[in-house]
Chain A
Amino acid sequence: MTAPAARHTAAPALAPRLLGGRLKRSQRRAGLLFILPLVVLELLLLVLPIIQTVYYSFTRWDGLTSKWIGLENYQRLFADTTFWRVVLNNVLLLLAIPFAILIPLAVAFLLNEHVRGWRFFRSVYFLPTAISWVVIGMVAVRVFASQGILNGLFDAVHLPVHLNMLGAELTAMLAVIITFIWSVFGTNTIIFITGMATLDREIYDAAKVDGAGSWATFWRITIPMLMRFIQFAFIVTLITAFTALFSLIFVMTGGGPGYGTTTLEFYVYQQAFSVGVFGYGAAIGVVLSLIVFAISLGQTRIFRSRLD
């Protein structure tokens, strides 16, 4: 983390010859002045709550009074079978990631052939990015409901299948996962299209001359050269899965049936604002941020490449 910092300071903001004495001082003063709004806003509304979350995770807290209880919340948390059920749901969400990457990758590859109307298709695929998880969840409920669209489709093709996916824990999670894959499909497709646009046409021509088929070209050239983009999409998708599905779950399943679709982020909300155990909720919040922070460390590589 310190390497890019050093580079940042090393790059002089303005030419040193101009910055002797008074001007340099006044430039620094101006710098402090212009950064001030950010510092004030973030100290009060981001840094302070982070410190409080950590502090209160060691207390019994109802929002008004708190009592220091040391590690009790964490001990309770790790002994809580519901907590492990919730962690399992986060693990289940991981199953979505390969699909959320590979399907967009394949479709981006097809879009990149620039057949008639490809720009229109690209816009259509990207459209869900603008839609709130609330609206997506609202429609998803009608898709997976017992009297819903999916079962209607099965009837229409005379398949003797009738699913009540939202009625059982594992299938409800599957419904959330499918909806999630649908929602991030467009974003990831766009990321890969952007990546493919940067690839050098000549390499493909050379591969063709060497007699490589399109399948070999895809696996041997396109995929390796897109690795940076695949990595980026992977991390963004993972973080979305762990921190942005609250609204979808709220609308689609309310975390149920049972704890079938309660993920860590939903569990924080539920414990704090439904049950009212703020300190316990804070402890879950700390666990969630540690997980997300660990994932984000992988991302620093990408940040570093940006700073070069």
Chain B
Amino acid sequence: MDRTRRRISRGAIFVVLCIVGVVMLFPFYFMGITAFRSHDQYIAGSGLSLDSWKVLFDAIPVAQQLINSTIVTGGAVLIILAVSSSAGYALAKLGFRGSAYVFIAVLAGMTVPMQSIIIPEFVNISQVGLTNSYLGAMLVYAALGVPFATFLMTAYYRGIPNELVEASLMDGASFLQIFARIMLPMGIPALVTVGVLQVIQIWDDLLIGLLFLNRPEVRTITVGLATLQSSRMVDVPALMAGSIISALPAIIVYLIFQRNLVQGLTMGVNK
């Protein structure tokens, strides 16, 4: 009797989870099915075609914008990893006059909304001639990503035993050598987590790209797609084809590094 009840309740849970799954997956199904229809087939609701892809590639320089996204995301993430691992080492293991205040400032920096600083940021970057350049966008993304990355790296480095560092000091290693030979290699799991979080965030961002990269040939794919929509493009299949192309790299990163992403997102609450 009890076993039957248990089986029924587990069956019911399975059904509910399936329904939620359908709700979550439906948009992806819609994207997939719509992208392979022509505009007329989409209206009619049946048929298969590659027309939409031609419309999309005619409307925006897809390949170029994918390359732009890769360069900007890659560059910004490298800057973030370099700055945050170095800062995390300084805050967790070296200490210096005022390091406590720097750490507090880093925490405060995590709470600054990008929209609040975007106006002077835009004016400053324009004045030094870095709009429409990859470097300008990379630096802005890096500056916004570094506080959280540093928080994560500092927390991680605090977990590495001081004895390891002390032993190397006794052996005559310099602080730079300790960073390169101990801290960086041991920090790899945290670096991967930081990297994955930032890759997805920067790849998916619109606002910075929209303002700082406004010529079509330097735009990222996410910005290219958004401007397509706001230019009142009515070809839904082409928009869905663009959505797939822009989402696919982030989805692949997600599928490979799912575990790191979960770790990074729940980092703020786990002791």
Interface residues of A (CB under 8 A from B): 1, 4-6, 8-9, 12-15, 18, 23, 26-28, 30-35, 37-39, 41-42, 44-46, 48-50, 52-53, 56, 63, 107, 110-111, 113, 115-118, 121, 123-143, 149, 182, 185-187, 190-191, 194-195, 228-229, 232, 236, 239, 242-243, 246-247, 250-251, 254, 264-265, 268-269, 272-273, 278, 281-282, 285-286, 288-289, 292-293, 296, 299-300, 302-303, 305-306, 308
Contact = CB atoms under 8 A, between A and B. Distances in A.
Contacts of A132: 203-206, 222, 246-247, 250
B17 A49 contact: no
Given A130-B253, A134-B246, A306-B155, A265 B222 contact: no
A194 B262 contact: yes
A109 to B, nearest CB: 9
* Nearest 10 Cβ contacts at the A-B interface: A132-B204, A31-B94, A45-B143, A31-B96, A130-B254, A52-B120, A30-B175, A34-B90, A247-B206, A49-B117
B116 A268 contact: yes
A289 B108 CA distance: 11
Interface string B29-56: 0110010000000000000000000000
Interface residues of B, number: 107
B165 A14 contact: yes
11 contacts: A38-B102, A41-B146, A125-B24, A131-B204, A134-B204, A134-B243, A265-B115, A281-B119, A285-B116, A288-B113, A299-B268
A247 B34 CA distance: 22
Contact of B139 (A26, A41, A185, A296): A41
Contacts of B106: 38
A251 B239 CA distance: 12
Contact of A269 (B14, B207, B246, B265): B207
B242 to A, nearest CB: 8
B225 interface: yes
A123 to B, nearest CB: 7
SS class, residues of chain A in contact with chain B = helix
Given A63-B122, A286-B116, 18 more contacts: A14-B93, A14-B165, A30-B175, A31-B96, A38-B86, A39-B102, A48-B124, A49-B117, A115-B14, A115-B17, A127-B251, A134-B229, A139-B240, A190-B266, A246-B206, A281-B119, A282-B119, A299-B111
Contacts of B82: 37
Contact of B111 (A63, A117, A296): A296
Contacts of A195: 269
A112 B179 CA distance: 41
B59 interface: no
B95 A35 contact: no
Contacts of A229: 269
A28 B94 contact: yes
B241 to A, nearest CB: 11
A139 B23 contact: no
A302 B92 CA distance: 19
Given A8-B103, A53-B119, A191-B269, A46 B21 contact: no
A44 to B, nearest CB: 8
A52 B125 CA distance: 13
A135 B225 contact: yes
B271 interface: yes
A23 B187 CA distance: 24
B106 to A, nearest CB: 8
Interface in B230-265: 230, 236, 239-240, 242-243, 246-247, 250-251, 253-254, 258, 261-262, 265
Contacts of B134: none
B91 to A, nearest CB: 7
A48 to B, nearest CB: 7
A186 to B, nearest CB: 7
A48 B250 CA distance: 32
A269 B251 CA distance: 29
B192 interface: no
Contact of B17 (A34, A63, A110, A300): A110
